[in-house]
Structure 1
Amino acid sequence: MLIKSPLKSQLKSQIKYWWLAIRPRTLLASMGPILLGTALATREVDINKGIFFSALVCAMSLQIAVNLANDLFDSLSGVDNEQRVGPVRVVQAGLISLSAIKLGLALTCTVAMLSGLYLVVEGGWWILALGVLSFLGVFTYSAGPFPLASNALGEVTVLIFFGWVAVLGSYYLQTGSLSLLAFGLATSAGLYSSAIMLVNNIRDIATDQAVKKYTLAVILGEHKARMLLAMLITAALIIHAIFAIQVSFILWLTTILLVAPSYYVIKKGFTLQGSALNSLLANVAQVGFLYCFSVALSVMIFL
Structure 2
Amino acid sequence: MTAHAFFRVSRPPTLAATVVPILVGGALAWISGHVVWWAWIDIVLIGFAMQIGANMLNEYYDYVKGLDKPESLGIGGIIVSGEVAAPTVLRWAIGCYATALGLGLLLVIFRNPWLLLMGILAIGAGFLYAGGPFPISATPFGEFVVFLIMGPLEVTATELAALGHITPAAWVASIPVGFLVASILLGNNLRDRLQDGEYGRRTIPVVLGESGGLRVLTLVVVAAFVSTILAVISGHLPPSTLIVLLAVPLASSTIRSLTTPDGLKRAVPVMGRLHIVFGLLLSLGIILHR
Alpha-carbon separation, structure 1, partners of 2:267 and 2:44 = 25
Alignment of 1:13-32 (within 5 A): 14-32=2-20
Matched residue of 1:193: which SS?
Answer: helix
Rate the CA distance shift 1:248–1:85 in 2: closer, same or farther, 3 A: closer
Percent identity over the alignment is: 23
Rate the CA distance shift 1:287–1:217 in 2: closer, same or farther, 3 A: same
The answer to whether the aligner puts 1:259 opposite 2:248 as a matched pair is: yes
Alignment of 1:114-263 (within 5 A): 114-245=102-233, 246=235, 247-252=237-242, 254-263=243-252
Q: How far did 1:278 drift?
A: 4.1
Rate the CA distance shift 1:19–1:91 in 2: closer, same or farther, 3 A: same
Normalised by the length of structure 2, the TM-score is: 0.93
Matched residue of 1:43: which SS?
Answer: helix
Q: Which amino acid aligns with 2:221?
A: I
Matched residue of 1:114: which SS?
Answer: helix
Q: Which amino acid aligns with 1:259?
A: V
CA deviations 1:149-205 (Å, max 9, x no partner) are: 012221011100110001111122233433332222101001100000001001111
The answer to whether the Cα contact below 8 Å between 1:167 and 1:182 also exists between their aligned partners in 2 is yes
Matched residue of 1:93: which SS?
Answer: coil
Q: How far did 1:272 drift?
A: 4.7
The answer to whether the aligner puts 1:271 opposite 2:260 as a matched pair is: yes
The answer to whether the Cα contact below 8 Å between 1:79 and 1:213 also exists between their aligned partners in 2 is no
The answer to whether the Cα contact below 8 Å between 2:188 and 2:267 also exists between their aligned partners in 1 is no
The answer to whether the Cα contact below 8 Å between 1:84 and 1:207 also exists between their aligned partners in 2 is no
The answer to whether the aligner puts 1:291 opposite 2:273 as a matched pair is: no
Alpha-carbon separation, structure 2, partners of 1:73 and 1:207 = 16
Normalised by the length of structure 1, the TM-score is: 0.89
User: How many residue pairs align between the two structures?
Assistant: 288
Alpha-carbon separation, structure 1, partners of 2:107 and 2:265 = 35
Q: How far did 1:126 drift?
A: 1.9
Alpha-carbon separation, structure 2, partners of 1:286 and 1:64 = 19
Alpha-carbon separation, structure 1, partners of 2:75 and 2:88 = 20
Q: How far did 1:55 drift?
A: 0.7
Q: Where does structure 1 differ by over 6 angstroms across 4 or more consecutive aligned residues?
A: none
The answer to whether the Cα contact below 8 Å between 1:83 and 1:207 also exists between their aligned partners in 2 is no
Alpha-carbon separation, structure 2, partners of 1:87 and 1:74 = 10
Q: Which amino acid aligns with 1:54?
A: D
Q: CA RMSD in A?
A: 1.9
Corresponding residue for 2:101?
Answer: 113
Which of these two proteins has the greater Rg computed from alpha carbons? 1
Q: Which amino acid aligns with 2:24?
A: L
CA deviations 1:69-88 (Å, max 9, x no partner) are: 00001100112235634445
Q: Which amino acid aligns with 2:260?
A: T
Alpha-carbon separation, structure 2, partners of 1:296 and 1:191 = 16
The answer to whether the Cα contact below 8 Å between 1:149 and 1:215 also exists between their aligned partners in 2 is yes
The answer to whether the Cα contact below 8 Å between 1:86 and 1:278 also exists between their aligned partners in 2 is no
The answer to whether the Cα contact below 8 Å between 2:42 and 2:103 also exists between their aligned partners in 1 is yes
Alpha-carbon separation, structure 2, partners of 1:31 and 1:17 = 22
